[in-house]
Amino acid sequence: MSAKAAEIPLRRLSEVCERITVGHVGPMVGEYIEDGIPFLRSLNITPFRLSLEGLKFISRDFHHRLRKSGLHPGDVVVVRTGYPGTACVIPDSLPQANCADLVVITPSPDLNPYYLAAQLNSAWGRSVVAGHLVGAAQQHFNIHAARELTIPIPRRALQDRIAEILSAYQDLIQDSLRRMKVLEEMARTLYREWFVALRFPCHERVHIADGVPEGWERKRVDEMTSFLNRGIAPQYDDDADGLVINQKCVRGGRLDLAHARHQSREFRPDRQIQPGDVLVNSTGEGTLGRVAQVLAPVANCTVDTHVTVVRPIAAVGFHYFGQALMEMETRFSTMGRGATNQTELSRSQIGEVEVLVPPTTLVRQFEDFSRPCFRQIATLIERNENLRLTHDLLLPRLMSGQIRLDEAAA
């Protein structure tokens, strides 16, 4: 660390925040309504960004009863369990909201909320939060740990400049995500039109009996795969080259390597993930059954025992197969067996699921349409990964003075 970095004081969050509290912790049965005050949960909090996917609503009366956890623009919300430490800022577009099981932080005027979120989401921040988790069965980040957390707090002008620079990277990442979503929806819409609604080209001339068009057939997933297995039990080493995917990496139909961990040993070739592989989360409350497809090569990378690799045979269209299993996601999420907090989806259960298989010519038409979409998605994924890595490297270098800021930060 440079002399300049050493001059930046470390301060407890309790010293630079007006409020540090926790969202509602308790039963919500009967409290959700069709429309009302937005009610955020852990699944709505992603690094730097609020996701409205699965957003719930509560009544204004219940919101007033939960005044302690009321949210306002500029508040920083932090995940307590699952992905502890993940943080984002409440935007101006959400003038009032409430939440459950989140740490809620209202920074003082001395602390830029976007700077705080950047610190918490950084590799350094994640490691610091990990060192303050409590609990045995399920570790979580509690209020006491948040209040005692110490982070470097430079003068506000420097915070503002750092937040401005890092926010520009986040804007580029969000732009790529929006483009990816459009491309994914194009392929998804066509898949559902042809293979779910059965409005494929010339469908008017094809006889359909018991939901199966003439010339089509139902096949089990294990008849269409060359590899169907869970991953390894890794021995983690943060300084190693090998990458291990866990169930946190499969979310929203995409593979996110930000939560992957490292391990030292080489993996058998059949255990290394390949483009076209479909990954299915096979354990985990709230994550069971999630599906994502590998779209680009990832060197020396495998999955752990919480994830099943489903590899289609060469004769099966990769993108068709991936979309077919994506369509099964809700079904997979209900197929687990075992205790509530230890539900598992076995490889045999996945293999027994039947898929409606159209003629090769129709699959080829779908592949010809979807291939350019997924090629662009793979390019955008690689772009975002590079942006994320650069973003993570920037914060400590900006703090240390290795990268000079202009006079506006003086």
291-327 pLDDT, tens digit each: 999 998 888 899 999 999 999 998 899 999 999 999 9
List, edge to edge, every strand of the sheet that includes 261-263.
261-263, 242-245, 301-303
Burial label, 47 (beta-carbon count in 10 A; 0-12, 13-18, 19+): buried
Kind plus residue range of the DSSP H or E element containing 33: strand 32-40
What is the CA angle 151-47-278, rounded to 5?
A: 140
275-294: pLDDT as tens digits: 999 999 998 777 899 999 99
Q: Where are the beta strands (DSSP E) in 182-312?
A: 208-209, 212-213, 217-220, 225-230, 242-245, 250-251, 254-255, 261-263, 278-281, 291-293, 301-303, 307-312
**What is the pLDDT tens value at each position of the chain, 410 positions in all?**
343 444 788 899 999 999 999 999 888 888 999 999 999 998 899 888 888 888 999 999 999 999 999 999 999 999 988 778 889 999 999 999 999 989 999 999 999 999 999 999 887 777 778 776 665 455 678 888 889 889 889 999 989 999 999 999 989 999 999 999 999 999 999 999 999 999 999 999 999 999 999 999 999 999 999 999 998 888 888 778 889 999 888 988 888 887 788 887 777 888 899 999 999 999 877 789 999 999 988 888 999 999 999 999 988 999 999 999 999 999 999 998 876 567 899 999 999 999 999 999 999 999 999 999 999 999 998 898 899 888 888 887 887 767 766 533 33
Answer yes or no: are the C-beta atoms of 276 and 322 closer than 8 Å: yes
In 17-89, alpha helices (H): 60-65
- Architecture of domain 217-357 in this structure: Alpha-Beta Complex (3.90)
Same fold, 3-153 and 217-357: yes
Q: Is 255 helix (H, G, I), strand (E, B) or coil?
A: strand
Residue 135 pLDDT = 57
**Strand 150-152, strand 10-12: pairing:** antiparallel
Q: How do the domains of the chain map onto residue ranges?
A: 3-153, 217-357
> What kind and span of H or E run contains 355?
strand 354-357
| Res 69: pLDDT | 93
At residue 361, the pLDDT reads: 95
**What pTM, to 2 d.p., does this model score?**
0.80
Closest by CA to 375, choosing from 364, 367, 386, 387, is 367
Q: Which CATH class is domain 3-153?
A: alpha beta
Q: Collapse the DSSP code of 37 into the 3-class scheme (helix H, G, I; strand E, B; otherwise coil) and give the result.
A: strand
Identify the bridge partners of residue 174 per DSSP, sorted by sequence position.
none
Q: Supply the Cα-derived Rg of the chain in whole angstroms.
A: 23
CA 177 to chain centre: 12
Of 326, 319, 322, nearest to 370 by C-alpha is: 319
